[in-house]
Structure 1
Amino acid sequence: MPPPSRSWSEGIVTAKSQRRTFFNLFPKAAKDISDADYDPGIEKMMEFAKRKRLDARLPPAQEMARAFRRYFANASATERPVEDEQMQYILQTFEYLQQEGKIEGLGYPFLEQTLSHIATYSTRRDSEVHRRFATLVYEEGTKLWKASNDENSTNWVLFRLYAEVMSKSGGTSTARDVLTTKLTVPGLLPAKWKPSERTTIARVFAVLLTGFSFEHKEEDMVSLIDRGLQRIPSLSESITLHRVMAVHYADLDKITQTKHWYDQYMEAAAKRSNKEGMWNVEIHESVLRLCLRKQEIEWGQTIIRHLTSRPPAKEVWDLLFEWAAGTGKGVDEVDRMMDVMERQNEDKSTGISPDVDTINRLVEFAITRNDPYMAERFIQIGRKRNIEPNAKTLVLQMDYRLSVNDVDGALIAYKHLQSHDLSDNKDVPTVNRLLCAMCASGRHDFDSIMNVAADLSDRQARFEATTVSALAVLHLSRGELHDVIDLLNTHTFRYSIAERKHVRDSIIAYCLNPATPTADAWEAYNIFRQVFDETPREQRTQMMNEFFRRRRPDMSVHVFNHMRTHTRADTIPTTETYITCLVGIARLRDEESLENVHNQLKLDWSIEPDTRVLNALMLAYTSVEKSQRALGFWDDITASKEGPTMNSIHLALKACERAPWGDRKARGIWQQLSRAGIELDADLWASYAGALAGNGNVSGTIEVLEQALEKGTLGQMNAMIIGCFYNSAPGAVKKADTEAWAKERFPKLWEELQGLGMVTNTLEYPFFRLNRSFSP
């Protein structure tokens, strides 16, 4: 059996890369592999985390402070979010700097900027590491700020940033509790709020309300508003808070609550003579869409009358067109409304008329109704009015065409999109969807897919995890290992934990696919284990079992040894891992692999072999025809405090079948069982019969069985006992003797056995199809 090919990390030696060129005189030069694209500073933090796991000497704190600064300076320059994968290393570094007393050297402005960056670019998700980091930075920042300001004052800007990070990472309640404490401390709140302070505190409440909304904690939202109004009455004038509440309930389709908070919003806007708030498009858009979904047409018409009580602004007109389409007016009727809009504004200097934003809003509405035909018609209306699609129109067109699996139509829209300014990258999510659809369709050639991918790459746009997964599997299926490595190195080290898992799972699925050639599965495994060092034990064990299934125990043992040499506690083998590996080796009867794993077990101080591990060793050594050694583990089991299990007995008797003088050992085991008062059921008798017959002592086995029947220690003969007896009898003569006895004494049971069918072994001796496999 050839050894597994070396992994890409050891020089890219694979079955595919070893193909001969013309007599191998002019071999192709190996393609350079790009290094992993780490953000500045993060690699140093990853190295720090590894050293800490190994209890090795840690780098100087000053060095880690520089890495910390470099990371956030780059993150701010590139406006990249800090994913939870990177935050794990950042948090460990920050805690180390705290222990070493180096936080003050970072300075308050830098800590505020750090928190501001995370607050601005974080996506909403439950992330404990983000919450922990935000808390530490806020506490340290507060200390530094108070050192140069009034000890009893509060930096509300810093607190707002802290609250925003917490609300985006699932810690809104914690931030609320901190705020509640501040509100109850005497003298902490100013007697009179400055306008800037009032705006900031209102933003704090809005941030927390939005966080509770995302976490679906309505009671906490209402409670927070009530507490805030009690301590800061001026908050009642903040239309922002009322808008957040109204939009929240509108999104939940709760009519009564939405009406209440909408009325509160309008009342607050009227008190402040806030004309912009009175006709704010965001809140009216949410409420009107609620009215459409819940068929609250009468309320919606009331809102429409309010919006048209003065000459509508352009954004309001667009909202009116959407309302008209939602209440059943056809595309042509909406078109005629646009004519009315133009006539009403033709003599005015404003020059309000439908534009591409109008069309885009209507197309978005059609998409929400899953009506691509309506969307296409709105685009045609725009063209009729000389309103040419802009980049957003074409992105929307790609979206709704992809939603009905019209990949070719989406590709056409994509080609038109290339002539537009795409510097804002708002098309990137949809282009990612297009790439995934092209990979999945099976109808699009490789070059077409790569052209779209190259466009994203040239623009240095973000490749979504789903896209990288699809492209990685595509390259793997074509044997393009270098391209897979480049792809993963370029993108995956900036992904979140969930995104990295998505890519990793797709490659593992490729490896586990029975249609994937074993050599390709091995190379794919080597790629993902290098790129995804965090792959947990469960998935690595899955890969180990897959190579056992493919009858490559050497590859399985390599996977096992990769776990064995790992540094992460969630990756190194456990007792269960050893047992699984030994069972796989036993199934394939590979002695070399067995010796390798057994030696690893001897050296593994973290594993204390228990009965199940010794059972697995007994099973494995029996399978490689080393039954005498297998029985040594039985002796270890009987001498242990834990003692044998029922499966231990079966496995020991199985070992006796082929062990020299195994029938004597079996008799000794049987006497031990009898003295211990263990119930000797039919299954045990079947194993015992096999153990006695395995050394050729057929007459002795018959004598034992007959005596047991006569004495009543064997209640009743069954087919399994006879079948094990026959299967264990060595050679044609011994089998014939067993058959003759069975046919004469138990003819019906013999017929039952024959009904199971027979197979032959490598020596062409017949065997009944009996399932006598025992797990450790």
Structure 2
Amino acid sequence: MHSHLTRHVFRQIVYNAIYSETFCWCRPISPCRPRARKCFPSSVVPARMLFGFSRQPARKPKPPDFDPGLKDMLQLGQALAKHERPPPRSALVNAFTSFVLDKQENERVAVEDSQIGLLLTTFRYLQDTQDEEGALGLSVGDMVNTMSLLTGPSVRRAIETTNTVSLARSLFDEVNRKEELTAEDRHQGLNTLIEVLASKKKPLEARDLLEEHWKQDSSSIDRKQWVNVVLGFARVDEQEQMIRTIETMEEYDVSFDNQAHQYVVEFYVSNKNVELTKKWYEYGVARGLRPSQRTLRRVLGVCIYNNELEWGEPLLRSLVDGEPSNPKDSKAYWRLILQWAAAKGKSVEELDRLLNVMVQKTREQGMDVQPDMGLINGLIAFATFKNDSYTAERYLTLGRKWGLEPDSKTFLLQLDYRISSGDLDGAKAAYDELKGRELETDADLRFINRLIVALCHQKPIKYNSIMELVDDLNERKARLNPETVSALALIHLQRGELHDLIDLLNTHVYRFEANKRLSICNDLIQFCFDRSILTAKVWDGYNIVRQTFREMDLETRTKMMFEFFERGRSDMATHVFGHIRHLDSPEIKPTVETYVLVFEGIAKAADAESLALVHNMLKLDATVEPDTKLYNSLMLAYLGCGDPRQALLFWDDIIHSREGPTYSSIQTALRACAEAPFGERQARDIWSRLKRFDIRVTKEIYAAYIGALAGQALFDECTELINNAKREAGLTPDVLMLGTFHNALPSAKQEAMKTWAVETYPTVWADVQKLSKRKKMSSSGGFLNGIHYNIGTDIAV
């Protein structure tokens, strides 16, 4: 009794370790071990040292790094999906407000679309669960603050989808229902909604709302909303609607002025659309507008970087004619002149002389303006754009000649062009100069991320250099890009640093939106499909991926299951199927096709233990209705595991089903007859049914019937069938018939078959003997004395 209880507890521990949602490895000691499920997860067996004491406590994975309030909102989403009890309303109100407040205080950090979706889900839940007095839990100020967040820089950097629009509408509708709403709050809510609609690909709705309220009370609308609508049509490439909006502006006495012109031109500059930049610049000039100096500089920058120098010559002359009146404008003017000269092919020496001329000219105008490193950085940036690292280095030398020392931007540009040219040692040297310096913007961190990715792909991998860069970013409290997380994750996985991998993913992936998470997940899964990687590492990688990326779809999970079958680890493949089976998500449930694939894999592996486990899962799965294809796979699985009698029970299910048998069903059943006790009776019954219903007999079915009788040692009947194949089924004896006859016979009769075949069908038998062969296996998996020719008789269910 005691030993039975111990075994029961043992099995329960292992089962929980495999199918629980906590991290566990359940990794085999070596890839050759036949059963991974008999290995303890690391959390069950602690490391033991001298006298049974561990030298240090087991390392615990770092918990996921959630933004304030995000964890509770995630739990709400999961609870609603599973129809479970959600977190308390008070916790959700606090989560909503704390998340918004945190993002308003940290505007440099982008708000991902998935996070906006969680805010929307939480807000709608709070609306749906209001008490009798209609207490939402959020004040008017909370909702107005949230609306202002939706038009802030942190949301503008996010991918544009419908979540932001839906949340803005819901907030606007709720705010306008409040009796205590002030006119200022009402106006702010209206302006926010118009701006969100315009920026999120709903400019037509934004314009309709704008016109409606402009007619009622123009003082409630910020005049910049007209420009926002114009830019909204630019985003969706609706040029006619843009022009119509500009005409409508004039009807309402809102002029398309220099500022509006600048916004539109800058929009196309930012989107690197050269043709539309030129078109809308000329559109403003044709309407009598005098472009601002900022607009001129931006357009000239487009000309320089896109080789539109001929078109930009008149613009450059107009800029030169308007001499700058202060040092700041002078340097912006110099930067364009130098880049223009570089684009025209001027040498470094010529640029040096040009710089001397410009310095002298400003002195004559009574201004003491000296070049700074920003001018040199502009030249280096242009050389980097042209993939000319040699000239970039010469520009750096030019700066030193003028007594200018490189700054952070210089070293970031060095990182960029040295990585592009493959000079990773040079890029690392530039990074060493950058350490300890402040960066101007968070966007500059992309260069360091890019260096980490490049070093991760370098062979051999310089691990210490990579970790030094990662530590620097951690000290800067910077986020890693998805590409960087993916590259580092693969490094940790290759090195077997599982705790580091978990910490990395928990720190970063929960901040990414769905498509970025999917990219990381796919990279890790592709690692698992690499046959050069040890199966133990693949198992570790799969377990971490399934825990971190619960949204991994059924197709990917099924491919992962098939991968373990291909590696000869049917036990691991069965565990993967079990993980699919135990998922709570209704979108990721095993289908009939999934069961078919797992039974086919088990059949090839002859894994009776896995077959019993999966078949029991099928019996308990109320979402799957067995069909002929599924019964076929069950027949194959039980036949492959040495239980032909059980396989034939599924044949009975098939013939009594509404769908009925397929050719694959008949072929599989006949093969089972070859191994089942007294199987010839069932085989003859199947054959008579085929004749009675006048079903066309294919060569595969005919050969399978021969094999069924041969398996019962009915030698004479088999030779008669082969000799009469033309009359019985219109077939000619071939390699498949003779090979099946030979393979199915007991070993003692194979020699007699060879003698008969050499005498009767010498040419066909000679072709059979050309095939590869192996020792014949028994149903229990042992080797017999007979020979089995590889005639390719795999059955597609």
- 1:95 is aligned, of 106, 124, 132, to 124
1:525 pairs, out of 542, 552, 555, with 542
Which of 118, 124, 147 is the equivalent residue of 2:150?
118
Give 2:323's aligned residue. 311
User: What is the CA-CA distance between 1:6 and the residue it aligns to?
Assistant: 5.1
Matches within 5 A, 1:127-276: 127-144=161-178, 148=181, 157-166=188-197, 171-172=200-201, 174-183=202-211, 187-188=215-216, 190=218, 197-198=222-223, 200-212=224-236, 217-219=237-239, 222-223=242-243, 225-226=245-246, 228-229=248-249, 231-241=251-261, 243-245=263-265, 248=268, 255=275, 258-266=277-285, 270=289
Aligned positions of 1:247-396 closer than 5 A: 248=268, 255=275, 258-266=277-285, 270=289, 277-280=291-294, 282-290=295-303, 293-297=306-310, 299-312=311-324, 313=329, 314-348=331-365, 350-396=367-413
Q: Which residue of 2 aligns with 1:437?
A: 454
Contact (CA 8 Å) 2:300, 2:316: kept in 1 or not? Answer: no
Give the deviation of 1:495 after TM superposition: 1.1
User: What code does the residue aligned with 1:201 have?
Assistant: Q
Counterpart in the other structure of 2:78: 50
Report the alpha carbon displacement of residue 763 of structure 1 after superposing the two structures with TM.
1.8
- Any stretches of 5+ residues in structure 1 without a counterpart? 272-276
Per the alignment, residue 447 of structure 1 pairs with: 464
- What is the identity, as a one-letter code, of the residue corresponding to 2:316? I
Q: Secondary structure at 1:607's aligned position in 2?
A: coil
Distance 2:102 2:499 in 1: 28
Identify if the C-alpha distance between structure 1 residues 78 and 242 changes in structure 2 by more than 3 Å, giving closer, same or farther.
Answer: closer
Instruction: Kindly state the Cα deviation for residue 641 of structure 1 after the two structures are TM-superposed.
Output: 0.8
Moved more, 645-654 or 52-61: 52-61
Q: Which residue of 2 is the match for residue 775 of structure 1? A: 796
The SS at the match of 1:9 is coil
Distance 2:752 2:209 in 1: 90
- Residue 560 of structure 1 deviates from its aligned partner by 1.0
Q: Superposed, which structure 2 residues align to 1:606-617 within 5 Å?
A: 606-617=623-634
CA distance in 1: counterparts of 2:197 and 2:793, whole angstroms: 58
Q: Mapping of 1:658-737 within 5 angstroms?
A: 658-709=675-726, 711-731=727-747, 733-737=748-752
Provide the residue aligned with 1:463 in structure 2.
Answer: 480
Match of 1:81, SS state, is coil
Corresponding residue for residue 110 of structure 2: 81
Give the AA of the match of 1:162: L
**1:21-36 pair list within 5 angstroms:** 27-36=55-64
Structure 1 pair 748/464, CA: closer, same or farther in 2 (3 Å)? same
Distance 1:417 1:40, change over 3 A: same
Structure 2 counterpart of 1:302, which letter?
P
Deviation per CA, 1:422-478: give whole Å up to 9, x if none.
Answer: 374443111111111111112453222111111111221111111111112212222
AA at the equivalent of 2:297: H
State the TM-score, normalized to the length of structure 2.
Answer: 0.88
Cα distance in structure 2, aligned partners of 1:302 and 1:368: 24
Distance 1:14 1:675, change over 3 A: closer
Give the secondary-structure state (helix, strand or coil) at the position aligned to 2:788: strand
| Matches of 1:261 and 1:671, distance apart in 2 | 82
Contact 2:191/2:222 (<8 A) preserved: no
Instruction: Note closer, same or farther for the CA distance 1:219–1:678 as it changes in structure 2 (3 Å cut).
Output: farther
Distance change >3 Å, CA 147–CA 688, structure 1 → 2: farther
- Find the aligned partners of 1:763 and 1:40 in 2 and give their Cα distance: 67
Distance 2:135 2:416 in 1: 47
Letter paired with 1:148: L
Query: Is 524-533 or 754-763 further displaced after alignment?
Result: 754-763
**Could you report, residue by residue, the CA deviation over 1:40-86 in whole angstroms, capped at 9, with x for unpaired residues?**
22221222222222222344434322221222222223333221333
**Does the CA contact (< 8 Å) of 1:4 and 1:555 recur in 2?**
no
1:96 aligned partner, one-letter code: Y
With 736-745 and 239-248 compared, the bigger mean Cα shift is at: 239-248
Question: Is residue 96–residue 119 contact of structure 2 (8 Å, CA) maintained in 1?
Answer: yes
The Cα shift of 1:669 comes to 0.8
Partner of 2:518: 501
What is the CA–CA distance in structure 2 between the aligned matches of 1:511 and 1:201, rounded to whole Å?
Answer: 51
> Contact 2:723–2:733 at 8 Å: present in 1 too?
no
* Percent of aligned positions that are identical: 32
CA distance in 1, matches of 2:279, 2:118: 46
- Gaps spanning 5+ residues in structure 2: where? 1-10, 30-41, 777-782
Shift of 1:4: 10
**SS of equivalent residue, structure 2 residue 193:** helix
1:719 Cα deviation after fit: 1.9
Contact 2:362 2:368 in 1 (8 A): yes
- Cα distance, 1:164 vs structure 2: 4.6
DSSP 3-state at the match of 1:760: strand
Q: Structure 1 residues 48, 253: closer, same or farther in 2, change over 3 A?
A: closer
Cα distance between partner residues in 1 of 2:724 and 2:274: 81
Q: Deviations over 1:399-441 (max 9, x none)?
A: 0101111111010000111142237444311111111111111
Q: Residues 671-696 of structure 1, C-alpha deviation per residue, up to 9 Å, x if partnerless?
A: 11222221112221111111111121
**Which residue number in structure 1 is paired with residue 757 of structure 2?**
742
* Amino acid across the alignment from 1:400: Y
C-alpha separation in 2, matches of 1:125 and 1:386: 44
Distance 1:28 1:220 in 2: 71
What is the deviation of 1:294? 4.8
Contact 2:492 2:500 in 1 (8 A): yes
Matches of 1:75 and 1:182, distance apart in 2? 28
* 2:485–2:504 CA contact under 8 A, matched in 1: yes
* C-alpha contact (below 8 Å) 1:687/1:724 kept by paired residues: yes
Partner-residue secondary structure (3-state), 1:308: helix
| 1:341 positional shift | 1.1
Q: Is the 8 A contact 1:5 1:15 kept in 2?
A: no
Taking structure 1 as reference, are residues 447 and 294 closer, same or farther at Cα in structure 2, changes over 3 Å only? closer
The equivalent residue for 2:605 is 588
Distance in 2 (CA, whole Å) between partners of 1:68 and 1:551 is 49
Asked whether the 8 Å contact 2:207–2:229 carries over to 1, the reply is: no
- 2:574 corresponds in structure 1 to 557
Worse overlay, 675-684 or 405-414? 675-684
Question: What is the distance in 2 between the residues matched to 1:593 and 1:318?
Answer: 71
Residue 511 (structure 1) shift = 2.1
SS in 1 for 2:79: helix
Deviation at 1:111, TM superposition (A): 2.1
Match of residue 274 from structure 1: none
TM-score by length of structure 1 reads 0.90
